[in-house]
Structure 1
Amino acid sequence: MSCLRISLGDIRSQDGVALVVALLVFAICAGVLVALQRDFDLSYRRGLNSFVAEQSWAYLRGAEDLASLALTLDYDADLASETSRDDLNEIWAQQATPYALDEGGWMFGSLTDLQGRFNLNSLGDPAAAGTSSYSPAQQTFIRLLQALESAELDQFAAIAVTEAVADWIDADDEPRLNGAESAYYVSLQPSYRPGNRPMMSVSELLAVATMTPEIFQALRPHVTVWPQVPAAINIHTASQSVLQALNVDGNLQPLSRSEGESLVQLREGAGFTSLEEFLQLAVFSGESNSGIATLLTESSSYFLLASRVEIADREQRLYSVLRRQAREIDVLQRINASLYDMPNPAAENSQ
Structure 2
Amino acid sequence: MLPASLFRDRSGMALVLTLLAISFLVAVTVQLSTSVNGQMQAAANQSTAVRLDAMLLSGLNLARAALLADQKENEDTADSQFDRWGTLDSALLSELFSGSLDITVTDLSGRLQANALVWTEKEKAAWKKKQKGKNKKKDPAKLQRILWKRFLLRGNLGIEGLDEDQATTMLDSLVDWLDADDEKEENGAEKEYYSSLDPPYIPTNGPMPIIEDLLLVKGWEQKILYSELKKKDNSPSHLIAYLTNGEQPGMVNINTAPALVLQALHEEMTEELAADMVSYREDENNKELLNQVTWYRNVPGFPGSISFDQTLITTASNLFKITVTAADKGLQRTGEGIIQRKENQEQALLYWKIQ
TM over 0.5: yes
Structure 1 unaligned regions, length at least 5: 128-132, 248-252, 338-351
Alignment of 1:335 onto 2:328: no
TM-score (norm 1): 0.76
Cα displacement (A) at 1:16 = 3.6
Q: Aligned match of 1:59 in 55, 58, 63? A: 55
Q: Aligned match of 1:301 in 301, 318, 323? A: 318
* Runs of 4+ in structure 1 over 6 Å off: 276-281
Cα displacement (A) at 1:44 = 2.1
Q: What's 2:43 paired with? A: 47
Q: Aligned match of 1:282 in 301, 304, 314? A: 304
Q: Kindly tell me the number of residue pairs found equivalent between the two proteins.
A: 314
1:142-181: per-residue Cα shift (whole Å, max 9, x none)? 1221233333544443222211222222233322011122
Secondary structure of 2:30's match? helix
Contact map agreement 1:144 1:254 (CA 8 A) in 2? no
**Judging changes above 3 Å, is the alpha-carbon distance between structure 1 residues 211 and 254 closer, same or farther for their aligned structure 2 residues?**
farther
Q: What is the percentage of aligned positions where both structures have the same residue?
A: 26
Q: Distance in 2 between matches of 1:314 and 1:145?
A: 39
Q: Which amino acid aligns with 2:144?
A: A
Secondary structure of 1:38's match? helix
Q: Aligned match of 1:243 in 262, 266, 271? A: 262
1:67-107: per-residue Cα shift (whole Å, max 9, x none)? 1232233123215xxx3321222121137544555887422
**Judging changes above 3 Å, is the alpha-carbon distance between structure 1 residues 188 and 324 closer, same or farther for their aligned structure 2 residues?**
closer
1:232-280: per-residue Cα shift (whole Å, max 9, x none)? 3323222222223223xxxxx5733344334434544544443367699
1:192-231 superposed matches below 5 A: 192-217=201-226, 218-227=238-247
Moved more, 195-204 or 7-16: 7-16
Cα displacement (A) at 1:222 = 1.3
**Judging changes above 3 Å, is the alpha-carbon distance between structure 1 residues 105 and 226 closer, same or farther for their aligned structure 2 residues?**
same
Q: Distance in 2 between matches of 1:189 and 1:307?
A: 36
Alignment of 1:139 onto 2:146: yes
Secondary structure of 1:84's match? coil
TM-score (norm 2): 0.75
Contact map agreement 2:325 2:335 (CA 8 A) in 1? yes
Q: What's 2:229 paired with? A: none
Q: Distance in 2 between matches of 1:35 and 1:329?
A: 53
Secondary structure of 1:196's match? coil
Q: Aligned match of 1:92 in 80, 85, 88? A: 85
Contact map agreement 1:275 1:298 (CA 8 A) in 2? yes
**Judging changes above 3 Å, is the alpha-carbon distance between structure 1 residues 76 and 246 closer, same or farther for their aligned structure 2 residues?**
same
Q: What's 1:264 paired with? A: 278
Contact map agreement 1:151 1:215 (CA 8 A) in 2? no
